[in-house]
A and B are shown apart, each in its own frame.
Chain A
Amino acid sequence: QSVLTQPPSVSAAPGQKVTISCSGSSSNIGNNYVSWYQQLPGTAPKLLIYDNNKRPPGIPDRFSGSKSDTSATLGITGLQTGDEADYYCGTWDSILSGGVFGGGTKLTVL
């Protein structure tokens, strides 16, 4: 059982928008930055969002991040079939004194 809670799966049609939630507590999301990762099948994770809502160079603005209290959300607009992947949130946990990830959300673009 992961410290951060994500829905196991989400789906939407091409061109639509989807959001993925990540729920935690005051010891992790509530007092630390959140990052988001995309993992395409058979590949290493890729950084999509850092510091709650910043995009690294090369990440399109179709991807966005937000945080409120002890929850964070990844938004993806203009869905493409190439967006089908597993998505993970991550942060630091002050009680565990370690990093934590969500259990991952599988995105299906119907």
Chain B
Amino acid sequence: EVQVVESGGGFIQPGGSLRLSCAASGFTISGYYMTWVRQAPGKGLEWVSVIYIGGGTSYADSVKGRFTISRDSSSNTLYLQLNSLRVDDTAVYYCARGFRGWYFDLWGRGTLVNVSS
């Protein structure tokens, strides 16, 4: 089955760190623009980061310098390292499979990151 499954979310204090994982099956993540998108409670979608087929990366200004996207081809898993977390990073984080035309055809169920003191 073609799917992505996120994990690693949880409750964390401001300033803390988390690593999110996105396990893919049925396709090879290195052949796509693998992307993280987040959604704060009751809010809209916010693009977070992408790792391109060639391995290059891009980040939203709101997370640049604090979050790092990476992938492990051997386990076919996408990661997002979240450092220096802030209260406004609280959101459901979705992993999505993307294409060159900048669209996302496969989404996971998401994992909730709750940053609170």
A binds B: yes
Q: Which parts of A64-110 form the interface with B (CB within 8 Å)?
A: 86, 88, 90-92, 96-104
User: When chains A and B are docked, how far (Å) is the Cα of A50 from the Cα of B59?
Assistant: 22
Central interface residue in A32, A90, A99, A102, by most chain B CB within 10 Å: A99
The answer to whether A101 and B107 have CB atoms under 8 Å apart is no
User: When chains A and B are docked, how far (Å) is the Cα of A101 from the Cα of B104?
Assistant: 12
Which residue on B lies nearest to A97, using beta carbons? B58
The answer to whether A45 and B47 have CB atoms under 8 Å apart is no
Which residue on B lies nearest to A47, using beta carbons? B105
Given the contacts A44-B107, A44-B110, A88 and B102 also touching, CB distance less than 8 Å: no
Contact with B along A36-53 (1 / 0, CB 8 A): 010100011111001100
CB-CB under 8 A from A43, the residues of chain B are 109
User: When chains A and B are docked, how far (Å) is the Cα of A96 from the Cα of B64?
Assistant: 12
Indicate whether B53 reaches chain A with its CB closer than 8 angstroms. Answer: no
CB-CB under 8 A from B108, the residues of chain A are 44
CB-CB under 8 A from B110, the residues of chain A are 44
Given the contacts A45-B107, A97-B58, A51 and B47 also touching, CB distance less than 8 Å: no
Given the contacts A2-B44, A32-B102, A102-B44, A44 and B61 also touching, CB distance less than 8 Å: no
Which of under 10, 10 to 19, 20 to 34, or 35 or more describes the interface residues of A?
20 to 34
Q: Which residue of the partner chain, among A39, A50, A91, A97, contacts B105 with CB atoms under 8 Å?
A: A50
Contact with B along A48-63 (1 / 0, CB 8 A): 0011000010000000
Given the contacts A44-B94, A44-B110, A100 and B47 also touching, CB distance less than 8 Å: yes
Q: Report A29 CB to chain B, min CB distance, Å.
A: 11
Indicate whether B41 reaches chain A with its CB closer than 8 angstroms. Answer: no
User: When chains A and B are docked, how far (Å) is the Cα of A42 from the Cα of B35?
Assistant: 20
Given the contacts A98-B58, A98-B61, A35 and B47 also touching, CB distance less than 8 Å: no
Closest CB pairs A-B (n = 8): A99-B47, A35-B103, A50-B103, A104-B44, A44-B107, A92-B102, A101-B45, A33-B101
